[in-house]
Chains A and B, each alone.
Chain A
Amino acid sequence: MLIDFILIPLVKILIIVVLMLLTVSYSVYFERKISAWAQNRIGPNRVGPAGIFQPFADVFKLLFKEDIVPKVANKPLHTLAPILALFVAFTTYAVIPIGPPVEIFGKMINLAVVDVNSGVLLVLALTSLGVYAITFSGWSSGSKYSLLGGVRSSAQMISYEISMGFSVAGVLIFAESLRPSDIISSQSGWMWNAVLQPIGFLTFLTASFAETNRLPFDLPEAEPELVGGYHTEYSSMKFAGFFLAEYANMIIASAMIVMLYLGGWQVPYIETLGLSAGLQASLQIAAFFVKIGALLFFFIWVRWSIPRFRYDQLMDLGWKVMFPLSLLNLVWAAILAMIMN
């Protein structure tokens, strides 16, 4: 009883949080490296061999910086915003399974912290809470640039959440469940949702770029025009909070895409190879991380290739292109499901 309900979840949480923090710091490192490669540069290579300790140097630098709060800022909200951003980014990961259920010491252990029956809904709900973090920070900073960033962010997130929701609906038609493990097992073999519903995959991918405020949708930050947008007035660890939350959100988005469209931890037809259970499970866990890594690379790659949208283009794309496309995908998914049953 005690082991099942307290110890195992605690261990899982610990593993997930450590994994998350490491992935976040190394995605910052790879962001800098890949941007350098894309621009014919070398990138950070001073701290440790090939600069691999750069993320820790960055974090320590930020820790030792002075924490400045503007005089006109709303202090409680100003402090709450980065905490909220981090909280949302890290909680979401609880429902995403990183592998098949495995047997350790005679116990079946599910490789998600919790396997809730409304997992997808929980993720969508929590990521929408992320808007509050950005809007709060924009509004409480007492700076016009921050405010503009916050307003833009809320408008953008609301617009793209709709097409995101409709794209997910297409997946749910096939899975007939909101439980992440069911969604993954519904994509066995070649039947990945990315293959079955390419339009939905595309709209979800684009919407997740918008939701994570990554370029080409980084209007809330927009360095050249808004001098950093919602985190203009943040410094020290509060800034680091937003910074880490952005990368944590990227990981969440990648994990969601993998879970919903790329078959989760599944490797097509691995069962036919006749491997031992342990080897198969570890291969599947590795496959999950490889998929997430590939998507993170894609996120970074896109950032250093495509220029930012103008605000009207952003809204046009969100409402006039993405929304109808995701509806189209929903119809397509429904027809497909009818034929296949």
Chain B
Amino acid sequence: MAEKKRLKDLTVWQKAYIPEIAKGLALTLKTMFKPKFTMEYPEVKFLPPSSYRGRPVLVEEAGGEERCVACGLCARVCPALAIEVQAAETEREKERYPERFEINMLRCIFCGFCEEVCPEEAIVMSKDYEMVFNNREDAIYGKDKLLVSVSQLQDRINFLRSHK
């Protein structure tokens, strides 16, 4: 077996130490002038790609009503038990609608199962990642906060269709 050269075996040049220090200094000096990648968050916001799983939202049709038919599959599949749906009847064509639809954002793990299981494409993951609340009650998002118009979610819906 050939003698393995160890890292410890330095050449005389390396043992002199100063040239190696100069190399290190040159490297850091070079780095100082490299472009920075930092995004200065509150001023510059991150625009997620369409594959991003942000806050789950309910799709609101152009007429101002939700797509959801309150089948309860999302609540059933939710591993964190974050979704609560209460169905009610309606005169409209779809016959059922959620009277109450709540997602507890403290429980939500952003897995996207609800979106995957939804037969109506009614709940999708948005690009919204800015969720702030000061107490536990505020963390339960009701229909008022969950409904987002379909035009804003087109990107994600197209993504879902192309990856089915």
Q: Measuring CB to CB, which residues of chain A are less than 8 angstroms from any residue of chain B?
A: 34, 37-42, 45, 202, 301-302, 304-306
A305 to chain B, nearest CB (A): 4
B81 sits at the interface (CB 8 A): no
Residues of A close to B32: CB separation below 8 A: 34, 37-38
0 or 1 for each of B64-76: is its CB under 8 Å from A? (1 = yes): 0000000000000
Q: Other CB < 8 Å A-B pairs besides A41-B38, A302-B25, 11 of them?
A: A37-B33, A38-B32, A40-B31, A40-B36, A42-B36, A42-B38, A42-B40, A301-B28, A305-B21, A305-B25, A305-B28
Chain A residues with CB below 8 A from B31, complex form:
37-40
Of chain B, the residue at the smallest CB distance from A303 is: B28
Nearest 5 pairs of A and B residues by beta carbon: A37-B32, A305-B28, A38-B28, A305-B24, A42-B38
Beta-carbon nearest neighbor of A317 in chain B: B17
B27 touches A305 (CB 8 A): yes
**Is B34 interfacial (CB 8 A cutoff)?**
yes
Tell yes or no: B37 within 8 A of A by CB: yes
Minimum CB–CB distance for B66 against chain A, Å = 41
User: What B residues does A34 contact at CB under 8 A?
Assistant: 32
- CA–CA, A45 to B38, complex, Å? 12
24 A-B contacts (beta carbon < 8 Å): A38-B28, A38-B32, A39-B31, A40-B31, A40-B36, A40-B37, A41-B36, A41-B38, A42-B36, A42-B38, A42-B40, A202-B18, A301-B25, A301-B29, A302-B25, A304-B28, A305-B21, A305-B24, A305-B25, A305-B27, A305-B28, A306-B21, A306-B24, A306-B25
Which A residues lie within 8 Å of B24 (CB)? 305-306
What is the minimal beta-carbon distance from B7 to any residue of chain A, in angstroms? 15
- Binary CB contact string for chain B from 21 to 57 against chain A (1 if under 8 A, 0 otherwise): 1001101110111101110100000000000000000
* A40 lies within 8 A of B28 (CB): no
- Give the residues in chain B near A202, CB-CB below 8 Å: 18
A301 CB contacts on chain B under 8 angstroms: 25, 28-29
B36 CB to nearest A CB, Å = 5
Assembly CA distance A136 to B40 (angstroms): 43
Q: Is the interface of A mostly helix, strand, loop or mixed?
A: loop
- Which residue of chain B lies nearest to A45 when distances are taken between CB atoms in the complex? B40
CA–CA, A45 and B21, complex, Å: 30
**Chain B residues whose CB sits within 8 angstroms of the CB of A39 once the complex forms:** 31
State the CA gap A39–B34 with chains docked (Å): 10
Q: Give bound CA distance, A39 to B33, whole Å.
A: 10
Q: Which residues of B contact A41 (CB under 8 A)?
A: 36, 38
Closest to B38 in A: A42
Q: In the complex, what's the smallest C-beta–C-beta distance from A72 to chain B, in angstroms?
A: 41
Cα separation A41 to B21 with both chains bound (whole Å): 23
Q: A19 to B4: give the CA distance in the assembly, Å.
A: 57
Q: Which residues of A contact B29 (CB under 8 A)?
A: 301
Q: How far is the CA of A65 from the CA of B61 in the complex (A)?
A: 55
Tell me how far the C-beta of A297 lies from the nearest C-beta in chain B, rounded to whole angstroms: 10
Q: Which residues on the B side are within 8 Å of A302 (C-beta)?
A: 25
Q: How far is the CB of B83 from chain A (nearest CB, A)?
A: 39
Could you say which residues of chain A place their CB within 8 Å of the CB of B38? Answer: 41-42
Provide the residues of chain B in CB contact with A42, threshold 8 Å. 36, 38, 40
With a CB–CB cut-off of 8 A, which chain A residues contact B37? 40
Give CA–CA (A305, B38) in the complex, Å. 21
Bound complex: CA A192 to CA B29 (Å): 26
Bound-state Cα–Cα, A304 to B37, Å: 19
> In the complex, A209 Cα to B42 Cα: how many Å?
40
Minimal beta-carbon separation of B157 from chain A (angstroms): 37
List residues 111-138 of chain B with CB under 8 A from any CB of chain A: none
**Smallest CB–CB gap between B163 and chain A, Å?**
34
**Residue of B25, B33, B37 with highest tally of chain A CB at under 10 A:** B25
Closest to A34 in B: B32
Which residue on chain A has the smallest CB distance to residue B25?
A: A305
CB-CB nearest in chain B for A36: B36
- A37-B37 Cα distance, complex, nearest whole Å: 11
Q: B104: shortest Cβ distance to chain A, in Å?
A: 34
Cα(A140)–Cα(B66), bound, Å: 70
